Structure formats: C-alpha cells, structure tokens
Amino acid sequence: SHLKHHAGQISFPGGHADPEDDDAVDTALREMEEEVGLHRRQIRVIGQLDPYITRTGFSVIPVVGLIEPPFDVSPDPNEVEDVFEVPLDFLMNPANHQRHRREVNGTRRDFYAMPYGERFIWGATAGMVKNLYDVLVGGGPDPNFRRDFQGVRPSAGSD
C-alpha cells in the first residue's frame, strides 16, 4: 500500500473521524466502505470495545460487527494490499494467542501475536482481538501481561 504509517502491516479498516460522522460506529462503517469496499448495509454492528490506546498514542474505538456471507470486497489499492478472513474459532482459541517481547530503541515492547498460516497478526490488531476474546470468552485481562488499556467490557448497546 501507499500508506505513510504502518505500511505492510495487517490491520482492521479504520481511521480518523470525519466531521460528518455521527459517532465511532459511523466512522468505522465509513472507513470499511472506503478501504475495503464493503457496504455498511452488509454489516450488523453488535457493539464496540473500550478504546484501545496504541503505543504511538492513538486511541482506537474497535467496533464489532457481523458480516453474512456471501460478500464481495473491492479494496482501495492506495490503502489496502490484500483482504483476507480468519475464522473466529481460531481467533478465540487462547492457544493461538502468543506473547512476544522485543527491544526497540532500548525499550522493551510486549505484544500479542496470532500467526495464521503465512500471516503474522500482531501489535494493536492482535491486542484488539485479545480484548474481544476477553469480552466474549471471559476471564478478564491477563494479570501477568502489561497492557496499554484499561479493562475491556461490552458497551451498553451490545448483544
């Protein structure tokens, strides 16, 4: 892709809110349409997670939705190199939640990763999936792993 930040990384569709967006859900649906070409009518929003604060200081409000197959995507080549699916069963299996530690510029960085075939889902994307796991499967946050967010719970409007 031709992105300035995070080029080549696996991520969910997303971006900054536009003035015409009503809320985080509206922003997420607009970004999904712009980046992936999936129309908002095809998505049933079921809720959102608490904000996820990235290591670079961005506050991301993950919006969770269901997409009924079949569906077609037409990614924006300026923003998206590839679109792929990962089964929810894989993502919700704690055996697939790996913890990694790297030192970057003299600072220790702990992060989650969820390798899937040839794909390496890591960092903020894997962290948001782990937060979803904590909400759906329960058990709360892992007390032995430093996180960059306060607890996660479903929003009042989620199913």
Q: Tell me what pLDDT residue 4 has.
A: 52
**How many helical (H) and strand (E) elements, i.e. helices and strands, does the chain have?**
3, 7
Low-confidence residues of the chain, pLDDT below 50? 1, 3, 6, 143-159
Beta bridge partners of 104: 107
Looking at domain 24-137, its CATH class is alpha beta
Within 48-158, residue ranges assigned H as helices are: 88-91, 123-137
Q: Tell me what pLDDT residue 8 has.
A: 64
Tokens standing for residue 60: 């991301």
Do the beta carbons of residue 114 and residue 129 sit within 8 Å? yes
Q: Tell me what pLDDT residue 56 has.
A: 85
Type of residue at 30: R
The pTM of the full predicted model, rounded to 2 decimals, is 0.80
Q: Tell me what pLDDT residue 140 has.
A: 58
Query: Domain map of the chain by residue range?
Result: 24-137
Tokens standing for residue 43: 């998505």
